[in-house]
């Protein structure tokens, strides 16, 4: 999206990386039957990734005009207000422990991470910053193993290795042959 919106050159390596990431994700799909829960999860994850890419490009457009903390505040404030009615209508009252965990999750894992991501867009391209978000399925595999004892299949491990390779190869290449974008 960036080359079209910002008039930047479309790099062949970026197209290749996108194709390889798609192949890695396809390797994670256990069956192409939408009634499969894992397939549904990957579908929703890819849709989430697409919307996140759109958001990243929009953030890059605005980060040079507005402070990144202001952008973060507006985005997370809107998300909170949008989701609040659903939480209220659910009727489940969270315990004090749940509220504490939500505060930790909301401030550290969401607000801080999102603010740092938006702030990075002032210095690097959205696609460069977003490549690292490709690690999220790999984190999911690792945490599923560590926290729930779920042993990944060989296909899942291979898909994770493809994603790791695609994420780290540009970082290694940029350090050796060209300045970071």
pTM of this structure: 0.66
State mean pLDDT over 135-156.
Answer: 85
pLDDT at 93: 85
The DSSP 8-state label assigned to residue 96 in this structure reads H
What is the DSSP secondary-structure string of 124-165?
Answer: S-HHHHHHGGGGHHHHHHHHHHHHH-PPPPHHHHHHHHHHHH
pLDDT at 69: 95
- pLDDT bucket at 66, cuts 50 / 70 / 90: very high
- pLDDT bucket at 177, cuts 50 / 70 / 90: very low
Higher pLDDT, 111 or 138: 111
State mean pLDDT over 4-9.
Answer: 76
Residues 123 and 73: their CA atoms lie apart, in Å, by 20
Give the largest Cα separation in the chain, rounded.
56
Residue 120, C-beta contacts closer than 8 angstroms, at least 6 positions apart: 129
């Amino acid at each position: 999206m960036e080359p079209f919106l910002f008039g930047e050159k479309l790099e062949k390596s970026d197209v290749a990386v996108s194709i390889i990431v798609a192949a890695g994700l396809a390797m994670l799909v256990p069956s192409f039957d939408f009634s499969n829960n894992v397939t549904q999860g990957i579908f929703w994850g890819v849709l989430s990734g697409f919307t996140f890419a759109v958001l990243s490009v929009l953030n890059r457009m605005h980060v040079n005009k507005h402070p990144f903390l202001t952008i973060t505040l507006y985005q997370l404030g809107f998300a909170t207000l949008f989701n609040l009615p659903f939480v209220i209508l659910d009727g489940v009252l969270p315990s004090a422990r749940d509220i504490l965990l939500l505060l930790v999750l909301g401030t550290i894992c969401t607000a801080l991470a999102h603010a740092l991501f938006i702030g990075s867009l002032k210095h690097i391209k959205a696609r460069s910053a977003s490549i690292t978000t490709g690690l999220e399925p790999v984190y999911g595999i690792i945490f599923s193993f560590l926290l729930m004892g779920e042993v990944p299949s060989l296909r899942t491990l291979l898909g994770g290795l493809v994603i790791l390779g695609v994420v780290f190869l540009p970082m290694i290449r940029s350090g050796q042959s060209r300045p970071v974008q």
